[in-house]
């Protein structure tokens, strides 16, 4: 759900399964952009009504069909969509509120797509569907990280071609250069390192919680200054955590991914850029190594 351009107001979501109204959870994934989640209690048609300042948005109410998980009779189109989502899970890095024009935008795939030192054909499309320059990096865990520098605001697409078929791996919204952040902090962190989130706020009436995937509370320390609050925390386990910030009128929810820190092995920046390959010495049986690069 994207509320850019809608101004200040109240977002309301109502989900009905035909018998009852179900609780909905709104999670802020970027500035003025929300994920809507709910837990179905029955199979069948569900109606989702979304309004902003009591005015229904275009297309509301929406309908979805909840299937029986034990029933495997699905369409080929549904199978293909689910397969894409399961195979490639890219996590967006950078600031919690989103990346702005001129900043380095990056994503990381937690799944091992290729073998070590085996390149993969990604490309980035800007909001005008034009391919732009990017750098792809593979680390010692086999994960791929994609970096690029956006020149304009809007939605960028990470795509690849497999067997003459285009796959959309992830979309990423880039904020305008003049966007003013209220919350500063990284989406992706590493275990056993001190992290902090900064909140620019003129009010002291706010509540902060940090929870892991089991909904256990994680210890935090808050440092109050005149017009800034700093939240310090250290994450000890690899997991997906949720940071919840509430004040008198608003609530913000952000996912923070704690991932292992690995060494970069392969870096490919494309034409007229430096390509780097780092070889693990423990995997070399000889002291003499010859490197041959073929174009």
Q: Is residue 166 part of a domain?
A: yes
Based on the domain organization, do 169 and 247 belong to the same domain?
A: no
DSSP-derived secondary structure letter, 208: E
In this predicted structure, what is the pLDDT of residue 101?
95
Domain count, the chain: 3
Cα separation, 235 vs 189, whole angstroms: 8
- Each residue of 83-96: pLDDT tens digit? 444 445 789 999 99
Residue 112 lies in a domain: yes
Indicate if 200 and 168 belong to the same structural domain.
no
pTM: 0.65
Residue ending a domain, among 157, 178, 199, is 178
pLDDT band, very low/low/confident/very high, at 46 (cuts 50, 70, 90): confident
Retrieve residue 199's tokens: 């909140």
Give the 3-state secondary structure percentages of the chain, helix then strand then coil, rounded to 5: 5, 45, 50
* Residue 220 located in a structural domain: yes
The mean per-residue pLDDT over the stretch 182-196 comes to: 94
Is 124 contained in some domain?
yes
Average pLDDT score over the chain: 80
> Domain containing 160 — which CATH number?
2.60.40.10
Q: Is residue 66 part of a domain?
A: yes
Q: Which of 25-39, 191-205, 250-264 shows the lowest per-residue confidence on average (mean pLDDT)?
A: 25-39
> Is the pLDDT confidence value at 78 over 50?
no
**Inter-residue contact 93 to 103 (CB < 8 Å):** no
Report percent pLDDT > 90 for the chain. 34
* Domain termination site, one of 147, 178, 209: 178
What integer pLDDT is reported at residue 76 of this predicted model?
A: 44
Least confident of 47-51, 147-151, 213-217, 230-234: 47-51
The verdict on residue 209 lying in a domain is yes
| Cα–Cα distance, 279 to 117 (Å, whole number) | 9
What is the pLDDT confidence band of residue 265, given thresholds at 50, 70 and 90? Answer: confident
- Mean pLDDT is lowest, of 57-66, 113-122, 156-165, for 113-122
95 is in which domain, residue-wise?
A: 84-178
Residue range 188-192: average pLDDT?
Answer: 95
Residue 102 sits in the same domain as residue 160: yes
Stronger pLDDT, 180 or 247, i.e. the higher one: 180
Q: Is residue 224 in a domain?
A: yes
pLDDT at 240: 93
Q: What pLDDT is attached to residue 195?
A: 96
Task: Tell me the C-alpha distance between 250 and 146, whole Å.
Answer: 33
In a domain, 78, yes or no: no
Q: Are 23 and 105 contained in the same domain? A: no
Q: What is the pLDDT of residue 77?
A: 46
């Amino acid at each position: 759900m994207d509320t850019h351009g809608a101004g200040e107001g109240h977002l309301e979501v109502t989900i009905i399964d035909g018998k009852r109204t179900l609780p909905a959870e709104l999670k802020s994934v970027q500035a003025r952009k929300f994920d809507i989640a709910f837990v179905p209690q029955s199979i069948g048609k569900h109606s989702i009504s979304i309004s902003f300042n009591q005015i229904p948005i275009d297309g509301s109410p929406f309908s979805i069909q909840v299937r029986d998980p034990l029933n495997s009779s699905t369409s080929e189109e549904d199978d293909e969509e689910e397969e894409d989502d399961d195979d490639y899970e890219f996590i967006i890095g950078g600031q919690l509120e989103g990346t702005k024009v001129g900043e380095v935008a990056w994503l990381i795939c937690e799944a091992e797509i290729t073998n070590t030192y085996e390149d993969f054909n990604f490309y980035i499309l800007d909001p005008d569907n034009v391919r732009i320059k990017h750098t792809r990096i593979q680390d010692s865990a086999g994960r791929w990280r994609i970096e690029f520098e956006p020149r304009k605001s809007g939605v960028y697409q990470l795509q690849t071609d497999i067997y003459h078929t285009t796959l959309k791996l992830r979309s990423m919204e880039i904020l305008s250069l003049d966007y003013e952040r209220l919350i500063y902090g990284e989406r992706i962190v590493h275990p056993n390192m001190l992290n902090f989130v900064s909140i620019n706020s003129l009010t002291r009436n706010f509540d902060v919680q940090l929870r892991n995937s089991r909904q256990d509370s994680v210890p935090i320390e808050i440092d109050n200054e005149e017009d800034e609050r700093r939240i310090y925390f250290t994450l000890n386990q690899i997991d997906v955590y949720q940071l919840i910030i509430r004040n008198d009128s608003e609530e913000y929810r952000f996912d923070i991914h704690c991932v292992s820190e690995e060494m970069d092995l392969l870096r490919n920046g494309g034409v007229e850029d430096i390509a780097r390959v780092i070889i693990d010495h423990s995997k070399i049986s000889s002291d003499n190594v010859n490197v041959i690069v073929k174009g």
